[in-house]
Amino acid sequence: MKKYTSLVNTLCLCASLLFITSCEKNKSGTWDDNNSTASKSDANSWINESDLQSADGKDSFAFADEEFMPLRDDDLKTLSFNEGFPQPKFGPGEAGSGIPGLQHFREPAGILSEIFRNVYFNTDEHVIRGKENLTLIYKMSAYLKEHPNTYIEVQGHCDERGLEEYNQALGIRRAQHVRTLLIQHGVDLNQIHTTSFGKEQPVALGHTPQDWAQNRRAHFKIYEKN
């Protein structure tokens, strides 16, 4: 019975992941399409900030006035599935975060190297596609929920063909998309930090489509708090 329940839960989570990403796919085939007026005015893609509170209330979205002077435009008060959640209030290594800096995060080893594997993106896209990538996201979210003292860094990387400076900013979107999916599936947002590397850290040094595909990735590093 327990096995049956677990199977149903797994199927439900996979189905919901597929639903979210297929929604994105329908309205955002390419990067440019994502930014078209049509996609931005799609009311179904917007959710309220109040729906996005973390489970234990450790962080909230009413932080902005404390740290910076925010814009007050109405269209910035809601978040879409395509966009991320605010970064944790305290960065790794900062007083209050309870964890060391990201330089102390390590490559996943042992069983974690099977769960926290790279996920890959299509050209000019920041949304995850494909069963394999989505299964990985599911496994990661399950692990992180079971291990609330495990923290991850999600690195967003691009391939060599993009603009250097613009890709630094674009890498944010890839990392944030992975983070959004994990939070949507119950992971505490304070467990996930993101870093944009643009195209500064390629793993494949060739200039073929295969090399580019390997470099368009989200890469993960882990810190396990005792």
Partner 1 sequence: MRKTIFLILFSLLCSSQSFLYSAFEAQEIRVTLSTESPLTPVYLTLASENPGFSQSYIDSLKAVLNFDFSYNGETQLLSIDSEKEKLLQRCDQQTAFTPAYWKAGGIQYVIKAMVQEKKLSAMIYCLQEDKIKRFQEIPLSGSLDKDRKQIHKLADGIHKAIFQKEGIASYQILYSQQKPRKDKEWGSEIWECDWDGANKRQVTKENSYSINPIILSSTSDQFLYVSYKLGQPKIFLSSLQKGEGKRVIHLRGNQLLPAISPQKNQIAFICDAANGRADLFVQAFDPSKGAVGKPIQLFSYPESVQASPTFSPDGKKIAFVSDKDGSPRIYLIPSTTTGKRSIPTLLSKTNRENSCPSWSPDGKKIAYSAKTNGVRQIWIYDFEKGQESQLTTGPGNKENPEWAPNSLHLVFNSVDDEGSNLYIMNLHQAKPIKITDGEGKSHYPSWGRKSNQF
The residues of the shown chain that bind partner 1, judged by CB under 8 A, are 31-32, 34-36, 39-40, 64, 67-73, 75-76, 79-80, 82-93, 101-103, 105, 153, 163-166, 168-170, 172-173, 176, 179-180, 193-197, 200-202
Burial class (CB in 10 A: 0-12, 13-18, 19+), 47: middle
Indicate the residue among 6 and 30 with the shorter CB distance to partner 1: 30
Cβ burial 189-207 (10 Å sphere, 16+ → b, else e): bbbbbbbbbbbeebeeeee
Q: How far is the CB of 132 from partner 1 (least distance, A)?
A: 24
Q: How far is the CB of 76 from partner 1 (least distance, A)?
A: 5
User: Cβ 38 to partner 1, closest distance in Å?
Assistant: 11
Q: How many Å apart are CA 26 and CA 164, to the nearest integer?
A: 29
The total number of residues written for the chain in this structure: 226
Nearer to partner 1, 51 or 67 (CB): 67
Indicate the residue among 21 and 176 with the shorter CB distance to partner 1: 176
Comparing CB distances to partner 1, the nearer of 92 and 108 is: 92
Residue 138 C-beta: closest distance to partner 1, Å: 21
- Pair 30, 124: CB distance under 8 Å: yes
Q: Which helix (H) or strand (E) holds 5?
A: helix 2-27
